[in-house]
Amino acid sequence: VVLCGGSSRIPRLQQLIKDLFPAVELLSSIPPDEVTPIGAAIEAGILVGKESTSVDDSVMIECSAKDILVK
């Protein structure tokens, strides 16, 4: 799970998500303020057919108002 935005820095929110989804790891290697632009860049790469291992290993799932990237 990748959290984005300022609210993702709230320790209580992080703990609630960990409690709700114990089998899921929160990815903290991407700064929360950079998650959206990085996701947009990955989506752009997928849409234009860019061949890259970072894009090839990713799947974009459009199942809600927000896109979800599963890697």
DSSP assignments along 40-70, one per residue:
HHHHHHHHTT---HHHHT-EEE--SSS-EEE
| Structure confidence by residue, pLDDT tens digits, 4-47 | 888 888 999 999 989 998 998 888 888 888 888 888 887 787 77
User: Is there a single domain that holds both residue 38 and residue 26?
Assistant: no
Whether 52 has a pLDDT exceeding 60, the answer reads no
∠43-45-50 over CA atoms, to 5°?
Answer: 150
Question: What tokens appear for 53 in the block?
Answer: 């291992």
User: Is there a single domain that holds both residue 51 and residue 71?
Assistant: yes
Please give the tally of structural domains in the chain. 2
Domain extent for 25:
1-30
Q: What is the pTM of this model?
A: 0.56
> Cα(55)–Cα(60) distance, rounded to whole angstroms?
10
User: Is there a single domain that holds both residue 46 and residue 18?
Assistant: no
Report how far Cα 29 is from the mean position of its chain's Cα atoms. 11
Per-residue pLDDT band at 54 (split at 50, 70, 90): low
